Amino acid sequence: MQVYVIRRLIQSIPTLFGITLISFLMMLAAPGDPVTLITFNPTATAEGTAQLRRQLGLDQPPLVQYVYWLIGNDWVKIDVDGDGVGDVYGTRHGFLRGDLGQSLQHKRSVLDLIVERVPATLKLTLTSLIVGYVVGIPLGILSAIRSRTWFDQVTRVFSVVGNAIPAFWLALLMIIVFSVNLGWLPMSGMRDITRPDASGLDQIRYMIMPVFVLALGIIATVSRYMRAEVMEVLGQDYVRTARAKGLQNRTIVVHHVLRNALIPIAALLGPALGSLLGGAVIIEQVFAWPGMGRLVVNGVFQRDYPLIMGSVVLGAVLYILGVLFSDILYAWIDPRIRLE
C-alpha cells in the first residue's frame, strides 16, 4: 500500500510540471503588455516603463522568466537602471515556495486573494457535492433494484434531462420564479450585507438555489452511474448464489450488492473533488457569489495574468490531489488495484 501511494505521488510530479509550463506558455502568448496594464498612465515616460519592465523581469528571455516564476528571483541581483550591473536582489520567492506573484489589478499577493475567496466557493461546491452524492447514490440503487418500474423510468429520464439542461439557464428560471415572482428566496449574493447579525439560517436561504442547481447535475451523473454499477453486480454469480441460499432480498442488496457496487464510485469522486474550485464558475456568476469563479472571470476581463495563472495552477493542484485521493481510496478498498 505504501509503495502504491509513493508511486502515485511520484507519478503526479511530471503532470504538475506540465501544468506550470502550459499556463506559463499561455500567459506568454497572451496579447497586451502587463506594464501598460499596471501603469495605465498617459504621463508615464519611456524611461520609467523600461525601468518597471526590468524590475518585473519582463526584459528577460521566456526561459528565465519561467525559472523566476518557478523558484523566485531573490537569489539574483536585478539590473534596475539598465547599466548592465545588478543593483538589488529580487523579491519574488517563486511558485515552489508558495509565492504566486502579485495581482496586476488588485496589487496584492495572488495567493492571499485566492485564499480569501476559497471558503465561499467551497461552501457552495462542497455542499452541492454532498447533496449530490447523498441523493444520487440511493436514487441509483433504488432505480436498479426496481428496474423497469415507473420509478426507474422517471429516474432515468431525470438523469438524462438533468445533464442536458444548462445549469445557468435553470438558475435564471429559478430566479425568475422564486425571487422575482414569488419573492421567497434572495436573488443573489451570499448574505444580507445590511444585516451583520443575520443568523446562519438566514445564510442558508442564499444557498438554496445555487446548491440546488449545482447538485442537480451531480445527482443526474451519480444516479446514472450507480444504477449501471448495481445492475452489473446484480447479474454476478455470487448474487445468484446468495439468492439460491435463500437470503432475504434486503440482506443481498446491503451485504453483497452495495459493497461491490460502491467501489467504482470512488473513481468518480476524484474528478469531482478536483473540480471543487472550478466547478461553479458560471453559477457563481449568475448568483453573484463572491467566490473563486468570479475572481477568475474578473481577472480574465482585466487581463490580470498572474492571477489567472495562479488560479489555474492551484485548481490543477487540487485536481491532482483529488484524483490521488480517490486512487488511494480505491486501492485501499479494492486490493485488486494495488496488486496490479
Query: Element (H or E) spanning 88, and its range?
Result: strand 88-89
**Least CB distance from residue 68 to other proteins, whole Å?**
21
Which are the contacts of 205, defined by CB distance < 8 A and separation ≥ 6? 185, 186
C-beta of 90 vs 278, nearer to other proteins:
278
Helix (H) or strand (E) holding 232: helix 200-234
From candidates 50, 275, 290, 325, binder to other proteins by CB under 8 A: 275
User: Which listed residue (1, 96, 126, 160) binds other proteins by CB under 8 A?
Assistant: 160
Nearer to other proteins, 203 or 275 (CB): 275
Q: Within a 13 Å sphere around the CA of 78, how many CA atoms are in the beta-carbon half?
A: 23
The Cα 260–Cα 209 span in angstroms is 34
Task: Figure out which of the listed residues 65, 143, 311, 326 binds other proteins, where binding follows CB under 8 A.
Answer: 311
CB 311 within 8 A of CB 296: yes
- What is the distance, to the nearest Å, from the Cα of residue 155 to the centroid of all Cα atoms in its chain? 27
For residues 242 and 309, which CB has a smaller minimum distance to other proteins in the complex? Answer: 309
Q: Of 242 and 314, which CB lies nearer to other proteins in the complex structure?
A: 314
Size of the site for other proteins (CB under 8 A): 45
User: Facing residues of 88 across strands?
Assistant: 78
* Region of residue 32 (phi > 0: left; psi between -120 and 50: alpha; otherwise: beta): left
Site for other proteins in 168-207 (CB under 8 A): 168-169, 172-173, 175-176, 180
Give the residue with the Cβ less far from other proteins, 138 or 166. Answer: 166
Question: Which among 96-104, 137-145, 167-175, 252-260 is the span making contact with other proteins, rule CB under 8 A?
Answer: 167-175
Binding residue for other proteins, selected from 163, 191, 262, 337, defined by CB under 8 A: 163
Grid coordinates representing 192 are 444580507
CA–CA separation, 42 and 40 (whole Å): 7
Query: Contact letters (x/-) for other proteins, 281-310, by CB under 8 A?
Result: xx--xx---------xx--xx-x----x--
Of 316, 326, 327, 328, the residue at the interface with other proteins (CB under 8 A) is: 316
Q: Is 312 in the site for other proteins (CB under 8 A)?
A: yes
| Cβ–Cβ < 8 Å for 331, 338 | yes
Hey, CA dihedral for 161, 163, 166, 171, is it positive or negative? positive
Residue 222 binds other proteins, judged by CB under 8 A: no
Q: Does 226 bind other proteins (CB under 8 A)?
A: no
Helix, strand, coil % (nearest 5) of the chain? 70, 0, 30
Contact set with other proteins (CB under 8 A): 14-15, 18-19, 22-23, 26, 29-31, 160-161, 163-166, 168-169, 172-173, 175-176, 180, 274-275, 277-279, 281-282, 285-286, 296-297, 300-301, 303, 308, 311-312, 315-316, 319-320, 323
